Structure 1
Amino acid sequence: MAIIGSPQELLDSDLYVDLTSVLGHALYVKCEGFNFGGSIKMKAAVAMVADAERNGVIRDDSVLIESSSGNLGVALSIIAAWKEIPFTCVTDRRCNDLTASVMRALGTRIVVVDEPDAEGGYLKARLDLVRRYCEEDDRYVWLNQYRNETNWLAHYKDTARGILKHFPDLDVLFVGVGTAGTAMGCLRYFRDTGSTARVVAVDSVGSVSFGSPPANRLIPGIGAGVLPPMLDPNAFDDVVLVPEEAAVRMCRTLSARGLLFGGSTGTVVDGARTWLERNDPQRTLRTVCISPDMGDRYLDTVYDDAWVCGHFGPGALAPVPRS
Structure 2
Amino acid sequence: MAVIIANPLDFNVEDLYVDLRQSVGCPIYLKCEGFNFAGSIKIKAAAAMVAVREERGELRAGGTIIESSSGNMGVALSIVAASRGYRFVCVTDVRCTLAARKTMEALGSEVHVVGEPDADSGYLGARLAYVRKLCEANAGYIWLNQYANEANWRGHYRTTGPEIAKVFPELDVLFIGAGTTGTLMGCARYFRENHPGVTVVAIDTVGSVTFGRPPGQRMIPGLGTSVRPPIFDASYADDVVYVEEAETIRMCHRLAGSGYLFGGSTGTVVSGAAIWMKEHGRDDMTAVAVSPDFGGNYLDTIYNDEWASRVVTADVPDDHHRCGPRS
Measured against the shorter chain, the TM-score band is over 0.9
Instruction: Tell me whether 1:289 sits opposite 2:289 in the alignment.
Output: yes
Contact 2:38 2:79 in 1 (8 A): yes
Contact 2:93 2:113 in 1 (8 A): yes
Contact 1:309 1:317 in 2 (8 A): no
Q: Aligned partner of 2:294: which letter?
A: M
Identify unmatched segments of 5+ residues in structure 1: none
Q: 2-side partners of 1:194 and 1:270: how far apart?
A: 25
Alignment of 1:1-323 (within 5 A): 1-280=2-281, 282-313=282-313, 315=315, 322-323=322-323
Secondary structure of the residue aligned to 2:82 is helix
Contact 2:210 2:226 in 1 (8 A): yes
Give how far 1:148 is off: 1.1
Contact 2:63 2:140 in 1 (8 A): yes
With the length of structure 2 as denominator, give the TM-score of the two structures. 0.95
Give how far 1:311 is off: 2.8
Once the two structures are superposed, what CA deviation does each residue of 1:265-313 show, in whole Å capped at 9, x if it has no partner?
0000000000000112x43311000000000000000001111112324
Identify unmatched segments of 5+ residues in structure 2: none
Once the two structures are superposed, what CA deviation does each residue of 1:235-269 show, in whole Å capped at 9, x if it has no partner?
21100000000010000000000000000000000
Contact 1:205 1:215 in 2 (8 A): yes
Q: Aligned partner of 1:293: which letter?
A: D
Q: Aligned partner of 2:153: which letter?
A: W
Give how far 1:233 is off: 1.6
Contact 1:253 1:320 in 2 (8 A): no
Give how far 1:131 is off: 1.0
Contact 1:13 1:32 in 2 (8 A): yes
Q: Percent identity?
A: 52
With the length of structure 1 as denominator, give the TM-score of the two structures. 0.96
Q: 2-side partners of 1:18 and 1:103: how far apart?
A: 32
Q: Aligned partner of 1:162: which letter?
A: E
Higher deviation after alignment, 15-24 or 313-322: 313-322
Once the two structures are superposed, what CA deviation does each residue of 1:136-175 show, in whole Å capped at 9, x if it has no partner?
2111111111111111011001100010111010110000
Q: Which runs of 4+ in 1 moved over 4 A?
A: 314-321
Q: 2-side partners of 1:125 and 1:211: how far apart?
A: 20
Higher deviation after alignment, 243-252 or 128-137: 128-137
Q: Aligned partner of 1:234: which letter?
A: S
Contact 1:309 1:316 in 2 (8 A): no
Q: CA RMSD in A?
A: 1.6
